[in-house]
Amino acid sequence: MPYITGERKQGLLLPSSIEDYINPSDPVRAYDAFVDQVDITELGIQTEPNRVGAPEFDPRAMLKLLVYGYSYGVRSSRKLERATHHNLSFIWLTGGLQPDHKTIARFRRDNQAALSNILKACAHVCLKLGLVEGNTLFVDGTKVHANASMKNTWTEKRCLESLKDIDSRIARILSECEQADASEQGNPSLVKMRECLGKQGKLKEKIQGVLKDLQAGQKNATNTTDPESVRLRSNGRLGVGYNCQSVVDDKHGLIVHSDVVQASCDSNQFSLQIEKAQQALGKPCATACADAGYASTEDLKKSLDEGMDVIVPSARQVKDPSSRVKKEHFAYDAKDDCYRCPQGHLLRYIGDHKQTKSRIYAVGDPEQCRQCPLFRRCTNSDQGRRVERLFLEDVRERIEQRYLQADAQAVYRRRKLRVEHPFGHLKQNLGIRSFLLRGLAGVKAEAALAATAFNLVRITTILGPEAFVQRLAA
Ligand code: SF4
């Protein structure tokens, strides 16, 4: 016989209980032990063992199902339901419970706030087991698609154009009706035309409602499927989604805090996310590091003022070197409050720029620039070169100098390994590129579940499932 073949009718002596199917070193035991030691009422899950009426599924079993499912990229309620019927690990984890997809979806929807706290519980466990130190933290963000389509995103301009389009379509349908009436032909098509008119009318009403909301509110665009999502540019493409922030500990690259924000960029998120991570860990961190996307001097100053070692390059430090004459080629004279350009000409203070919170300096005679051999490389303006100096320029220079030091460079090199690993695992290995839930509360719950799932995968790799279970029980 050249092949080994299977035999479906072979009689088997299978173990008599589900417990015997799962090996003591199976990773599912780590998930089970983790959820068992979480205080679910502290998370915010309502438990009423003595309630009257039809019994519900054990909330702890439902939580285990979600955390384990997210760890293996099984997120949809239908796939989770199927797993409780076909997958031995899931069957063991839930003790044979088989909730249907509606029950699973309802549990996730009704406990969004509680699920957002699961990562905090995980961070505490990591701290207790010495897997997290909380001394050096890295912040990073990634854009995740919302469960909504870009075609349902409306701006004021698009609303006005669509309304104009609908009006012209209605006018065309009405004129076709008149023509049909006149010729007394095509009665069936009249019914169709009325239907078309009704559809156009409903669409017009919907767009008018959206336009009214846009004109009354602060937003310049809204999505009708997920109104809390925002327009984001990711990899050069415009889409609709959320900005996911995560704070990772240096020791083993475990996530200690995750958040979802409606900001289109990471600027101004640094101090906020580090503060929340410190609250989650219950201890202050010594060093915080992020990429140039977080380089908002005003925001970084908040962390500096708390005595933190802030390692964040400025945007100009990471830009590609080019032949252009940059601001750092100008020497600042603090005594006379002026700049001197590479050609030795003075740039004097001419006023403030309120939006960028900076002071502006300009050459006295623009002709000097127009005649300069560096003109075009330095400026294209016939008014001559201008230089902006932040009100907090000294703070920016301090942060820039810190970034250039050898020990800061070593921390910054680790940043990429630590903080980008979770995003890579979640997106590439588990395929979490878009959220399933809608609304900020829902996506925050999903982000916390995904981060907890990443941590548990990482812990089972670092310690091994058996050792993790033993240390939790100790
Ligand atoms: S272009 Fe103007 S500011 Fe720039 S180096 Fe020449 S003289 Fe100086």
Digit-coded pLDDT (tens) for 398-456: 999 999 999 999 999 999 889 989 999 999 998 889 999 999 999 999 999 999 999 99
Q: Which residue has the tokens 């997920």?
A: 226
Q: Ligand 1 pocket check: which of 341, 348, 388 to mutate, most ligand atoms within 8 Å of Cβ?
A: 341
Name the residue with the closest Cα to ligand 1, atom 2. Answer: 369
Residues 6 or more apart whose CB falls under 8 angstroms from that of 275 comprise none
Query: Is residue 180's pLDDT more than 90?
Result: no
Q: What is the pLDDT of residues 97-127, one digit of tens each?
A: 999 999 999 999 999 999 999 999 999 999 9
- Is 87 in a helix, a strand, or coil? coil
Q: 362 and 423 share a domain?
A: no
Q: 108 and 24 share a domain?
A: yes
Span 188-202, mean pLDDT? 70
CA distance 140 to 146: 19
In 146-286, which ranges are E strands? 153-155, 221-223, 230-234, 237-249, 255-261
Query: Is residue 192's pLDDT more than 70?
Result: no
Q: 433 and 444 share a domain?
A: yes
| Atom number in ligand 1 closest to CA 345 | 8
| Number of residues that this document lists for the chain | 474
| Atom number in ligand 1 closest to CA 385 | 3
* Residue 412 domain-assigned (yes or no): yes
Residue that wins the pLDDT comparison between 199 and 111: 111
Ligand 1, pocket residues at CB < 6 Å: 325, 341-343, 345, 363, 368-369, 372, 374-375, 378-379, 384-385
* Least confidently predicted of 52-61, 251-260, 286-295, 416-425: 52-61
Q: Which of 223, 248, 263 is the last residue of a domain?
A: 223
* Residue 6 domain-assigned (yes or no): no
Which residue, among 402, 391, 388, 392, has the nearest Cα to 290 in the 3D structure?
402
| Atom number in ligand 1 closest to CA 375 | 1
Q: 104 and 142 share a domain?
A: no
Query: How much is the pLDDT for 321?
Result: 60
In 250-303, which ranges are E strands? 255-261, 287-289
Tokens of 313: 């390059």
* Residue 7 domain-assigned (yes or no): no
Q: Ligand 1 pocket check: which of 326, 327, 350, 375 to mutate, most ligand atoms within 8 Å of Cβ?
A: 375
Q: 95 and 236 share a domain?
A: no
Query: Is residue 190's pLDDT more than 60?
Result: no
CB 332 within 8 A of CB 306: no
Distance, C-alpha 276 to centroid of its chain:
15
Query: Is residue 213's pLDDT more than 90?
Result: no
Q: 96 and 41 share a domain?
A: yes
Query: How much is the pLDDT for 189?
Result: 55
Span 162-175, mean pLDDT? 83
CB 300 within 8 A of CB 399: yes
Residue that wins the pLDDT comparison between 462 and 167: 462
* Residue 180 domain-assigned (yes or no): yes
Q: 411 and 340 share a domain?
A: no
CA distance 148 to 434: 9
Query: How much is the pLDDT for 7?
Result: 87
CA distance 445 to 118: 8
Q: 29 and 74 share a domain?
A: yes
Q: Which of 173, 197, 223 is the last residue of a domain?
A: 223
Span 324-335, mean pLDDT? 90
CA distance 103 to 77: 8
Q: Report how far ligand 1's centroid is from the alpha carbon of 376 (Å).
A: 9
**Mean pLDDT of the residues in the chain:** 90
Q: 193 and 236 share a domain?
A: no
| Atom number in ligand 1 closest to CA 377 | 1
CB 448 within 8 A of CB 118: yes
Q: 303 and 366 share a domain?
A: no
* Residue 67 domain-assigned (yes or no): yes
Span 52-59, mean pLDDT? 83
The percent of residues above 70 in pLDDT, for the chain, comes to 96
Q: 211 and 246 share a domain?
A: no
Q: Report how far ligand 1's centroid is from the alpha carbon of 333 (Å).
A: 17
Based on the structure, what is the number of domains in the chain? 4
Q: Which of 169, 195, 223 is the last residue of a domain?
A: 223
Residue 159's domain comprises: 150-223
CA distance 382 to 273: 44
Buried b (16+ CB within 10 A) or exposed e, 220-258: ebbbbebebbbbbeeeeeebbbbbbbbbbbbbbbbbbbb
User: CA distances (Å), 68 to each of 31, 172, 260, 452, in order?
Assistant: 6, 57, 22, 10
Q: Report how far ligand 1's centroid is from the alpha carbon of 372 (Å).
A: 6
- Is 353 in a helix, a strand, or coil? strand
Q: 79 and 24 share a domain?
A: yes
* Residue 289 domain-assigned (yes or no): yes
User: CA distances (Å), 169 to each of 172, 204, 408, 411, in order?
Assistant: 5, 11, 63, 61
User: CA distances (Å), 55 to each of 51, 110, 374, in order?
Assistant: 8, 17, 80
* Residue 457 domain-assigned (yes or no): no
Query: Is residue 54's pLDDT more than 70?
Result: yes
Instruction: Give the domain CATH number at 423.
Output: 3.30.420
